[in-house]
Amino acid sequence: MTHENTVVDDEGTRRETPARGHPPERSTTESSLPLLPPGGSDAVIIARMAQPGSDAGTRPVVVGVNDPFIAATGLRQDQTTGLDPLSLLRLPELTASAEASLRHAMQHGIDTVVETRWAPNDGGLSWVEIQVHAADWNGLDNHTIITIRDVDGEHRSHDELAHAATHDALTQLSNRTHVLHQLRSMLVDAAAAREHIGVLFVDLDHFKLVNDTFGHHAGDQLIQQFADRLRNGVRAGDLIGRFGGDEFIVACRLRTAGDDASIAAERILASMRQPFEVPGRQIVTSASIGLAISELDDTDPDGLIQAANTALFEAKRLGRGRVQAFGSRRW
């Protein structure tokens, strides 16, 4: 017999609710489970923990899953019961220590949280938070609830903010702060390996004239296209950044002092021979490059960039559209 109470909510709507003491009805797939806590769209696994006094190797087994878990994995209820809970989850990036933490929590009734990426039924990878919680739920003790919460959006937002903090919005190259940070790391590594770092300080010639003549939109497009040519002119692993305005930094690890850096500089100059396409016109311009090479024990990014900048001024003084190396101390 069904017992119901009539409730009128804040908007004056009448609805029938089960009387106190009578559990709410559950879906067919969850009808045989311990009553699940409210989980919304989170996927939930309920497992029976290893019995006290059982062998150390005994693992919890699944007694059921909720509807969102079935929707995410494509598994039927009868395909999950009696199995190891973690065997139901495709977690290709789960570390050994994180897996050990989850298993320890499930076996010993300890709450824990792990973040990793999950491959549900749709084939993609998404960030999830796996929460393990020991439960005495609805009068049934010795169980654990494993909740898989989607946190992919949170990770995406974090990654986007981190990218925005370290990259130039117009070109998507490293910004000034990130260039200095990365260059310092490169110098430390190179010093330990007794190698050199070559830095190219690259400046677009007559950029102000382009802005003043054709407008800032054309100038922005020129900067973007030049950034693409820089990417194509260096090796994978070289550092490229927009240092400000029409100034760019390229840094590369050298096997023989001067060789790789000068080759990269010549490639950049060669790329300038083709005109830049902006709406309604072609723009032909050049670039000037200052080159500096680190000493074997050099770990100062500011000093190395200043040396390259000094060489850049000399390149411009000598007529632009050329590479100029800094003095003998760094060449």
Overall average pLDDT of the 252-260 stretch? 71
Summarised one tens digit per residue, pLDDT across range 228-242 is 999 988 888 899 999
Compare 222 and 25 and report the one with higher pLDDT: 222
Instruction: Determine the Cα–Cα distance for residues 298 and 182; give it in Å rounded to an integer.
Output: 14
Per-residue confidence band for 10, with pLDDT thresholds at 50, 70 and 90: very low
Parse the chain into domains and list their residue ranges: 4-154, 167-325
β pairing state of 140-150 and 112-118: unpaired
Compare 52 and 182 and report the one with higher pLDDT: 182
Instruction: Report which of 200, 170, 217, 178 is spatially closest to residue 287, judged by C-alpha positions.
Output: 200
Whole-number pLDDT of residue 139: 61
Say whether pLDDT at 328 is over 50.
Answer: no
Whole-number pLDDT of residue 116: 92
| Domains 4-154 and 167-325 in one fold | no
The H or E element containing residue 248 is strand 247-254
Residues 6+ apart with CB under 8 A from 160: none
The tokens 């001067």 sit on which residue?
258
Measured from the Cβ of residue 58, the count of other Cβ atoms closer than 10 Å reads: 12
Overall average pLDDT of the 77-102 stretch? 92
Q: pLDDT exceeding 70 applies to what percent of the chain?
A: 80
Per-residue confidence band for 292, with pLDDT thresholds at 50, 70 and 90: very high
Q: Is 4-154 a domain of CATH 3.20.20.20?
A: no
Residue 81 C-beta-side C-alpha neighbours within 13 Å: 11
pTM over 0.75: no
Give buried/exposed letters for 151-188 (b at 16+ CB in 10 A, else e): eeeebeeeeeeeeeeebbeebebbbeebbbebbeebbe
Q: Is 291 helix (H, G, I), strand (E, B) or coil?
A: strand
Single-letter residue type at 18: P
Whole-number pLDDT of residue 14: 41
- CATH fold of 167-325, please? Alpha-Beta Plaits (3.30.70)
